[in-house]
Amino acid sequence: MKHEENPDLLPPEPVHTDALKPGAPDFVETPDIEPLSKEREPLPVWLYLICGFALFMAGSSFTGFEIFGQGLLDQGPGGPVLASSSSTQTAEVTDPLALGKKIYSGNCANCHHADGAGQPGMYPPMGNSALVVGSKERLAAILLQGLAGPLTVNGGSYGSAVMPAWNSVLTDDKIANVMTYIRATWGNKANAASEDEVTKARTKFASHPAAFTQAELLQIAPDGPDPSDKK
C-alpha cells in the first residue's frame, strides 16, 4: 500500500524572498558599510618632530651648540674651538722640549742613556756638564761635527770613543730642539737654543775636517756659563 504524505505536516517550501524579510527565521541584519575614503590620513605631528630632530643631529652645524657640555656637534665656522685629544697632541708635538726628548731618545740615549748618566769610562754624562750647559755654539759644534776623546768631564775620564756627526742627519731646528732638551734636563737649567744659533754654527764649522777634540772645543768658548746665555 503506497504511503501518502500528509501535506499539513510538511513545512512549507521556502520562498527565495523570505530570507529578505525581517521576520524570516534565517534573516540576519547586515550593518551599513561606508565606502573607503580616498583621502590619506595625515601623519601624526610627533613623527615629524622625531624625524626632524634625527636629521638635525645627523647633519646640522651651527655655532655654539653643545650637548650637556660635551661639544658633540660641529661648532661651525666662527665657533669656539673646543679642546680635544688631537689639539692636545699637537701642542705637545710642537713643544721644543718634547721634540728634543724624542730626538734624544732616538739618537743619543743608546750611549748617554735615558737618564743622561752616560757610561763610565766611555760616554760622558749630560747632567751638570760644561759641554752641555756652557757655550751653545760649542755644543752645536759637537752635535754638528762630532766629538772624539779622550775627555775629562766632571772629574771623570772617558776614552777615545767617537761621537758621530749629526750635520747630515738632523736639521738645524732638530739640533736646536735636542740642545734645548739636554740643557734643561737632569738638573740642568740653561736656556733654550734657537734654530738660528745652530744655523750660524753650521756655517762657521762647515770646513772643520773631522770630529772635534776637547782641546779644540776649549778654544770656542770658556768653560762655565755661556756669555750669551741671558736668563
Distance (Å, whole) CA 185 – CA 190: 9
Rounded distance between C-alpha atoms, residue 209 and residue 200, angstroms: 17
Domain 96-218, second-level architecture:
Orthogonal Bundle (1.10)
> How confident is the model over 192-219, as pLDDT tens digits?
999 999 999 999 999 988 899 998 988 8
Tell me the pLDDT tens digit for each residue of 27-44: 556 666 666 666 666 767
Which run of H or E residues covers position 142? helix 136-145
Residues with pLDDT less than 50, the chain: 61-74, 91, 231
Is 111:123 a contact under the CB 8 Å cutoff? yes
CB atoms within 10 A of CB 114: 11
Cα(124)–Cα(108) distance, rounded to whole angstroms? Answer: 12
Strand pairing category for 151-153 and 147-148: unpaired
**Residue 143 Cα distances to 12, 93, 149, 163, angstroms:** 128, 22, 14, 8
3-class SS of residue 119: strand
CA 159 from chain centre, in angstroms, equals 44
